[in-house]
Structure 1
Amino acid sequence: MPTRLLLRSAWQTVNIGDIGHTPGALRLLDRYFPEAELTLWPSKVDRGVREQLLAAFPRLKIAEGDVSLSGVATTPELQRAFDESDVLIHGSGPNVMVWEQVEAWRKTGRPYGAFGITFDRTRHGYTDWEDGTLAQLRARMAALPSSAIKPIEREFFHGLSFAFFRDTFSLDYIRREFPGLPHIAFGPDATFACDIRDDARADTYLSAHGLEEKKFICVIPRLRWTPYYKMHGYPPSADDLVKDVLNARTQSADHAGVREMIIRWVRETGLKVLVCPEMTYQVQLGKEELIDPLPADVKANVVWRDTYWLNDEATSVYRKAHTLISLENHSPILAIRQGTPTIFIRQPTDTCKGQMWPDIGLPPDFFEVEDATGDALWARLSAIHADYPAAQARTAAIYARVESLQREMVLTVKRVAEQRVQVPLAAALG
C-alpha cells in the first residue's frame, strides 16, 4: 500500500503567491516521492484553482471541509483522508494557519510537520503596527520571552516529526525554544517549485499590449498592510482603521523610488514596463501609485494590467520579462523559478519572512524600503541590464541552491513516512 500524504495548504486565492504554495509543494512531492498518494486539504480552491491543480496533477485527490478537535470532519471525503493518511504536511505560509486542525491530527499519534513556514512573534508586546527592518526584527526576536509562544503552539512543536522554516529568523527562534526537535532545518517556501504556466494566455496578453520578450520589466506594488476587509467586504475592525492610516501615510513614499526607477528605465533604455498585481487590491494600487504620477512621455511605455490573474499566466509573463521588481514576496519567487532576475523591496510590516532573501543569496538585489531610492534601484537595474547574462546566471545559481534544499525537504518527509512512527520531543531528548 502506498504512503498516503495529506497536504494542508491552499490558504486563499486573492494572492497568486498563496496559490503558488500548493502546486509548488505538490510538484516537489510528486517529483521526489512519486510513489506516495497525495490528497490536498484546502481552505480555498476557487477562481479556477481547483481546475488548474487537477490538470497539473491528475492523481491528486482533494478533500475539503473542517475537522473538530476530536477529529470529526464535516465531509465524508475529508473524514476518509484524515483517518487513512499516514503523514500530515502543513504547507508553506506565514504561520501555522490551522492550529486546532493540526492539534486534532497530533492527537492521532501519526507524524506531521511544517513545509516552509514562518513563525514570527516579533509583534509580541508591540502595539504600534509599525514593525521594523530585518535588523530590528532580529533584535526583537532575540529578546522574546518564552511566553510569546501559546500553549497550543507549544504542543504543536513538541509533537513535530519534521519542520522546515522558510526564513532563518523563525528557524533560529524555534531551535532556541525547542533544542531537541528532530529534522528541523531551513527550507525555502514551496512556491519556489511552482512551475505551472499558461504560455498561450500570456502570449496573447503580451502581444496585445506590445510587450516583447526580455524588453519589458514587471513591477508589483504593495501597501504596508493588506486591506482584507475591503477585499472581502466585511466591516473594518479598530485595528484595520489604524492600519489604513499607516497605509495612507506611507504608500506614496514607499513607491517613490520605484516610480523614479521606472522613469529612468524608460528614458534611458526606451524599453517598456508592465505594472501588475500579486494580490487583487494591487490592480488599482498599481495605477494610482506607479502609473498616474508618471510624466506623459514615460506613461506611453507603461502598460497597466487592469485585471487580476492566476499564477499560471503570471508565471509565463514573468518568464518573458527582463527583470521583476516587487514589493511583494511571491512574484519574485515565481520569477526566479523561471530564471528571471529580481529586485525585492521589503516594507517594515512584512514580517520576518523577508529574511528568506538574504538566506538564499538575493542581496545586492534586496532592499529595505527606506533604502530603495530611485538612484539605488536604478543602479541595480542598470547593472542587471548592462550584463544580463551574468544576472541570469546569478539567478540560476540562487534557484539551484533552493532546489537542492527542497529536494532534501521531501526526502526527509519520505524518511519520516517510511518509519510510520512519530518522534515526539520527549523521545528526541531521551
Structure 2
Amino acid sequence: MNILGGDVVNQHKREEIDKGRAPRILLRSSWQVVNIGDIAHTPGVLTLLEQYLPNAEVILWASPDLTQEVMDMEHKRFPSLRIIKGSMDSNGQTTSEELADAVSWCDFLLHGSGPYLVANEDVQAFVAATGKPFGVFGITYSGNPVEEDMLNKAEFVYFRDSVSLAKAKEIGIACPVMDFGPDGAFSVDLRDDEKAEQFLQKSGLQEGGYLCCIPKLRFTPYWKIRNSPFNEERHQRNEQMKEHDHVLLREAITAIVRETDMKILLCPEDSTQMEVGKEMIFDKLPEDVRAHVIWREKFWLTDEALSVYVRSTGLFGNEMHSPIMCIGNGIPAVVCRWEEQTSKGYMWRDIGLGDWLFDLDSEVDRSKLVAAVLGMAQHPDKAKRKALAARNYVVQSQMRMVETLQESLRKSAPLEATRKGNSWHQGDL
C-alpha cells in the first residue's frame, strides 16, 4: 500500500492547518521487552510529551516484539494511546494499513531514546517517502557511519551522554541543533503499587528499609531468552569476568548488612539476571549476611519494578536503566560499568553524579565502590538530596528538548495547538 504522495500530503497539511488542529507526532520507539529499562524509554518520552506538549496528538510506532502484556501496561498509564506496528520502504510501501495512515496523518516523526539510532532504516524510509521532518531524543552515538546521513538531516539530535555529543561534533555531523539530552527513561512514572506492596510484604521488606542490587554479565546472553545464536566468544568473556564483576557487589552487601539495619533485594533488569544474582551473589554470601538478602527469582515489568525502587533507600549494581529510573524519581543510585559497554554510563557525570559512577576495570574506582554504596545506606538523607539535585538537572534538560520539538512543530503544525492545555489527545485518526 502507498502513503500519500508529497504534493497531496502538503495540500492535506495546509488544509488541516487552516482548521487549527493539534500537532501530530509519530513516535518511533519500543525496541525490546526483555529488559525493563528498554521498555521504559517509551513511556518516559510519552510522559514528557504529556507534561510539556499536552495538546499534541501522539501515535506510537512500535517494534514487532512489543508484547500484549507491555501494551496493557502502557495503556493503563496512557489509556487512549494508539499503538501501531509495521515497516515501510522509501517508496512509501508499508506492511500495514495502520502504519500508512499514521505516516500520512503525522506532522513529525520523533525517534525515541535508545542505544543508537535504532530505527535508522525506518527514519530513512519515512523521510524519503514523505519529506516530513524528524528529530531524535536521547541516544548514544559511537560514530557509526551508517547513522551519519540521517543525523545530518534531523531537525535536532539530543545525545544522552556528552561523549556521544563530542563524537558527533568531531565527525562533523551537521544537524542544526545538537546537545546533551537525557535518556527518556528518566521520566517514566509507571506504577503497580499493589503488586509491589504484595511482593514487599511477602519478602519481609519495609519501605525505606532496603536497598536494591542488580547483577549483570558483561554481555547479555540473549541466546537464553530469545531466538539468538549462541556466542561462544561472549560466553567465555562472561565466564572470565563474572567473579571480577560481582565480588565488590557482595562486599558492599556484606558491609551494609553488618553495619546498618538495611536489607538487600537482589532483583533483575533483564530476564537473564535472576540466574546471575543467585549464582554470583546470593549463593556466595556468608550465611549471616544471606539471611538479610532477598533474591527475586521471577522477572517483572517496569511498573512493578519502579514501584519497588521508589520504596527503597537506593539502588546499586551493574545496570544502567534501573538507576536512570531511580534518579528520575529522586532515589539514589550507583552505577558500575566496564569497557565492553557504550559511553552511556558517562551520563552520570553529565548530571552531577560522577562520584556514583564506577569503572570496574579501574583499580582506583574499584577501591572506592564499597565505601560509596555503604555511604548511601548510612546517610540516606544526604544521598536523597544528591539524587534530587541530579533529577532537577535532568528535568531542566528534558524541558529544553521538548521546547526544541515545539519549535519544529510550529513549522509544520498550527501555533494554536502547541499552547499549554489541560488534556492530551493521543492518536485520534
Length-normalised TM-score, structure 2: 0.88
Deviations 1:257-313 (A, max 9, x none): 111111111111142110000000001111111101111111111101100001111
Residue identity opposite 1:285 in structure 2: V
* Match among 266, 270, 287 for residue 275 of structure 1: 266
Deviation at 1:154, TM superposition (A): 2.7
Q: How many Å separate the matches in 1 of 2:145 and 2:227?
A: 32
The separation in 1 between residues aligned to 2:379 and 2:142, in whole angstroms, is: 37
8 Å CA contact retained: 2:148, 2:173: no
Other-structure match for 2:357: 366
With over 3 angstroms needed to count, the CA separation of the structure-2 counterparts of 1:13 and 1:47, relative to structure 1, is farther
The residue number in structure 1 matching 2:112 is: 91
Tell me the residue number matched to 2:402: 410
Change (3 A) 1:47 1:379: farther
Cα offsets for 1:23-62 (capped at 9, x unmatched): 0000001111111110000113216110111121123211
1:169 and 2:163 aligned: yes
Equivalent-residue separation in structure 2 for 1:261 and 1:326 (angstroms): 10
Aligned Cα root-mean-square deviation (Å): 1.6
1:179-226 Cα distance to aligned partner (Å, 9 max, x none)? 542121110000000011111110110010100111111000111111
2:312 is the alignment partner of 1:321: yes
Query: Is contact 2:209–2:261 with CA below 8 Å preserved after alignment?
Result: no
Q: Show the 5 A alignment for 1:29-428.
A: 29-43=49-63, 44-46=65-67, 48-107=69-128, 108-121=130-143, 149-150=145-146, 153-178=147-172, 180-236=174-230, 240-371=231-362, 376-420=368-412
Deviates more, 1:112-121 or 1:179-188: 179-188
Distance in structure 1 (CA, Å) of the matches to 2:367 and 2:284: 18
Runs of 4+ residues over 4 Å off in structure 1: 371-375
Contact 2:23 2:57 (C-alpha < 8 Å) held by counterparts: yes
* 1:22 to 2:42 alignment: yes
How many Å separate the matches in 2 of 1:375 and 1:210? 32
1:356 shift after superposition: 0.9
8 Å CA contact retained: 2:165, 2:179: yes
TM superposition shift of 1:242: 0.7
Counterpart check, 1:6 vs 2:26: yes
Residue identity matched to 2:234: K
Q: 8 Å contact 1:215–1:271 — kept in the other structure?
A: yes
Q: Structure 2 vs 1, CA of residues 180 and 68 (structure 1 numbering), >3 Å: closer, same or farther?
A: closer
1:366 and 1:31 mapped to 2: Cα distance? 30
Alignment partners' CA distance in 1, 2:173 and 2:88: 30
User: For residues 384 and 164 of structure 1, do their structure 2 counterparts lie closer, same or farther at Cα, with a shift above 3 Å needed?
Assistant: same
Q: Residues 305-338 of structure 1: CA distance to partner in whole angstroms, max 9, x if unpaired?
A: 1000011111010001111002110000111122
Letter in 2 for 1:149: P
* % same residue: 39
> Deviation per CA, 1:371-410, whole angstroms, max 9, x where unpaired?
4777623311232233321211111010000001101111
* Aligned positions, number: 390
In the TM superposition, residue 161 of structure 1 has moved relative to its aligned partner by 0.5
Secondary structure of the corresponding residue to residue 284 of structure 2: coil
CA deviation profile, 1:145-177 (whole Å, cap 9, x unmatched): xxx513xx2320221111100011111111233
Partners of 2:68 and 2:263 lie apart in 1 by 29
Q: Flag structure 2 segments of 5+ consecutive residues without an equivalent.
A: 1-20, 414-429
The structure-2 alpha-carbon separation of the partners of 1:269 and 1:102, relative to structure 1 and needing over 3 Å to count, comes to same
Q: Deviations over 1:60-104 (max 9, x none)?
A: 211111112322111111110012211111111111112221101
C-alpha contact 1:167 1:353 (8 A) present in aligned 2 = yes
For 1:109 and 1:81, how far apart are their aligned partners in 2?
15
CA distance in 1, matches of 2:141, 2:332: 28
Query: Once structures 1 and 2 are overlaid, which stretch shifts more, 366-375 or 172-181?
Result: 366-375
Distance 1:344 1:175 in 2: 27
SS of equivalent to 2:303: helix
Amino acid of the residue matched to residue 33 of structure 1? L
Q: Note the C-alpha offset of 1:361.
A: 1.1
* Of 383-392 and 341-350, the range deviating more from structure 2: 383-392
Q: Which moved more, 1:75-84 or 1:273-282?
A: 75-84
